[in-house]
Amino acid sequence: MSFAVPSLPSLSPLPLCNHPARPSRSSPRRSALPAAAAAAANAERERAENGRSLMRALYDDGFGSASVKDYFDATRAIMKDDGGPPPRWFCPVECKPSVEDPPLLLFLPGSDGVGTGLILHHRSLGKVFQVRCLHIPVNDRTPFEGLVKIVEQTIKYEHAVSPKRPIYIVGESFGGCLALAVAARNPTIDLILILVNPGSNFISEKQSATSSPCCGGFTKQSSLYSTLFTELRNGCIMHIELGNPLKMAMVSVADDLPPQQTLEQLQYSLPSLLPLLSELSNIIPKNTLLWKLKLLKSAAAYTNSRLHAVEAEVLLLVSDNDNLLPSAEEADRLWASLKNCRVRHFKDNGHTLLLEDGINLLSIIKATRIYRRSRQHDYVTDFLPPTISEFQKSFKRDNRWYDLLVNPIMFSTLKDGTIVRGLSGVPNKGPVLLVGNHMLMGMELNSLYEGFVREKKAVLRGMAHPVLFATKYETSSQEMTRFDEMSIYGALPVTPINMYRLFAREEFVLLYPGGAREALHRKGEEYKLFWPDRPEFVRMAAKFGVTIIPFGVVGEDDVAQLVLDYNDLKDLPLVREWIEEMNQDAVRLRADINGEISNQEIYIPGLLPKLPGRFYFLFGKPIETKGMDILKDRRNANLVYLNVKSEIESIISYLRRKREEDSYRSLTQRLLYQATWGFSTQVPSFEP
């Protein structure tokens, strides 16, 4: 790996990659939509074209092209000729932004101070950020307050150049303390902190005894400083930066290999990695590490006394198997102490989280919805499409067994009414609105997202219930969830403005008029539509000439049995109180509409799994709204609306009938077929 390391005699506050400031974007008010329709639509189309020309679905983000060996090679290279003090910034040459006016991302290293700890993420982050890394020379002895001023000088300059653009700071271990200290001193600057196992709990026994009650106790780690200091002095330095060697070795192993080939590659990767880990003492001298240990001690004390002043948005990434710091306990303390803090735990990872397998920092940023290029996150314009590495991780690794169990089969309808296997009946270009039925808990969504990205290279912008994006329900023990993954694949809160803007950008939009009422239906309500009486989406679709695709999906009754629904759970006192508390402050959609559609209580149903059957999708004949006289004629709009609903009900009935003809509806039959012909072979189904 190569780096552009400026040999500056002193730190320069000037940006290494300057871009003009971009004006902030604000969403139009609902009342202003009719008057500003043409202008807003043209602006959205122009921005969409700019974005599409730079980045499309399944673009190659370069993630996975670097390994831990590259980290050690780069570390040796930069330490060999680091120019001595003072600390300075460098821009990795792999970082080449592909988006308009990318925000700045500063990486603050851990106790090693080298600045190469982000190397596995340079290419992916570099496509959507201006990335700069702080390098602290091995012989530099700048005190903590001096390092704070260096970082502060940079963010003040960047803020003056682009006051409406956020600044991201990724702080690892010691760098986490540095990031918090800078944020505390600059509460008016728009900062987003991503703290990876921050060292803010690293204090001495004497300090823990005098800690302020508001910061919480430190009894478990009170002897951490003295223990590590003794180990370092005795030459036992392997514990300082060593994470999970197995996870680090897995970085070099491809994701989609059979178990035998995975083991073979790991047998090569792990032995070649262990000698590199032992070189740590040769790269960073012991006296430097002793200084870093004292520096971390002063950093923790400085930071903990200023946590109350931090106004920045904070995301904590926590390794539950951190053998160096009690990061899980520290996450609880920081989550309670900071004003705007969210947490994501990684239960199988060690201290060096950013150098371990399965961790893609860009994916985490996208999943937690903190990527933005202005003051407020914009679900439409700040969305970054899924990359090829994210797609492979989601559907060839994380959800591979789910796909194998439900083995979804998709059919679509051509313009002449012919039903064919695959999605050839769905237009290749937007704007397209897919309208269908929800299965229980939205269990069809994974298959939908995968099918459209794989076959059409199209991202479905799913209109979802706002409660899925509410951070107030998160806790200090939060892990990455299915809802986080949905954000990567385009989900956003359902609002008229969001739908309007997506149509203006000619995107693929996924809409469930039945919403939460269908996804959390009661017993005996499988495949029943709960739609409002008024045509909510038809007239807006006609305004942009959207092609409406009605679709149906069946299969939930072959996968799970609903044993406890809302009516059962509300009769249990403790559960009823929990449901009422969860729904008390939740956004109530369609509360002003009469009928069952207004009963959209959020709850978790009790399910009994079955030996899986199969999911069947059918996308109906496209309905062209372009040229339809329904913008001003409510009666015609209502007829189109009822036609879409009727078509979906017909599709559901068709699929439930035709699946009886599928010889491979049973999991056993499918496994026998795949065992004979290969698990990558497409399993046959009924003839449409």
Assigned CATH for 65-367: 3.40.50.1820
Whole-angstrom distance, CA of residue 502 vs CA of residue 492? 11
Q: How confident is the model at residue 268 (pLDDT cuts 50, 70, 90)?
A: low
Whole-angstrom distance, CA of residue 313 vs CA of residue 311? 7
Q: How confident is the model at residue 596 (pLDDT cuts 50, 70, 90)?
A: confident
Whole-angstrom distance, CA of residue 535 vs CA of residue 686? 34
User: What is residue 261's predicted lDDT score, i.e. its pLDDT?
Assistant: 63
User: What is residue 112's predicted lDDT score, i.e. its pLDDT?
Assistant: 86
**pLDDT of 324 over the 70 cut:** yes
**pLDDT of 223 over the 80 cut:** no
Assign 462 to helix, strand or coil: strand
| E strand or H helix that includes residue 670 | helix 667-677
Whole-angstrom distance, CA of residue 688 vs CA of residue 674? 22
Over the stretch 563-583, which tens digit does the pLDDT of each residue have?
Answer: 999 999 999 988 988 888 888
User: What is residue 591's predicted lDDT score, i.e. its pLDDT?
Assistant: 63
Over the stretch 410-448, which tens digit does the pLDDT of each residue have?
Answer: 999 999 999 999 999 999 999 999 999 999 999 999 999
Q: How confident is the model at residue 536 (pLDDT cuts 50, 70, 90)?
A: confident
Assign 436 to helix, strand or coil: strand
Q: pTM of this prediction?
A: 0.86
DSSP code string of 632-654: S-HHHHHHHHHHHHHHHHHHHHH
Residue ranges in 286-425 assigned as alpha helix (H): 286-304, 327-337, 361-367, 388-393, 400-406
- Strand order from edge to edge, sheet including 88-92: 3-4, 88-92, 130-135, 104-108, 167-172, 191-196, 313-319, 341-346
Average model confidence (pLDDT) for the chain?
Answer: 85
Dihedral in degrees, nearest 10, Cα atoms 177, 183, 185, 188: 180
Within 13 A of 95's CA, how many CA atoms are on the CB side? 25
Q: What percentage of the chain reaches a pLDDT higher than 90? A: 63
Are the CB atoms for 19 and 102 separated by under 8 Å? yes
Q: Where in the chain is the domain with CATH 3.40.50.1820?
A: 65-367
User: What is residue 642's predicted lDDT score, i.e. its pLDDT?
Assistant: 95
Provide the token pair at 323: 């053998």
Residue 422: which residues within 8 A CB-CB, separation 6 or more? 410, 411, 412, 455
Are the CB atoms for 409 and 614 separated by under 8 Å? yes
Q: How confident is the model at residue 221 (pLDDT cuts 50, 70, 90)?
A: very low
Over the stretch 458-498, which tens digit does the pLDDT of each residue have?
Answer: 999 999 999 899 888 899 999 999 999 999 999 999 999 99
CA nearest 208: which of 227, 193, 221, 226? 221
**pLDDT of 20 over the 50 cut:** no
DSSP code string of 470-488: -GGG--TT-B--HHHHHHH
Q: How confident is the model at residue 215 (pLDDT cuts 50, 70, 90)?
A: very low
Over the stretch 41-100, which tens digit does the pLDDT of each residue have?
Answer: 565 555 555 444 457 999 999 999 999 889 988 988 888 777 788 999 999 999 988 888
Q: How confident is the model at residue 329 (pLDDT cuts 50, 70, 90)?
A: very high
**pLDDT of 279 over the 70 cut:** no
User: What is residue 630's predicted lDDT score, i.e. its pLDDT?
Assistant: 72
Average pLDDT over residues 227-238: 50
Whole-angstrom distance, CA of residue 330 vs CA of residue 356? 21
User: What is residue 213's predicted lDDT score, i.e. its pLDDT?
Assistant: 36
Over the stretch 619-637, which tens digit does the pLDDT of each residue have?
Answer: 999 999 988 877 778 888 9
Over the stretch 144-168, which tens digit does the pLDDT of each residue have?
Answer: 999 999 999 999 999 999 999 999 9
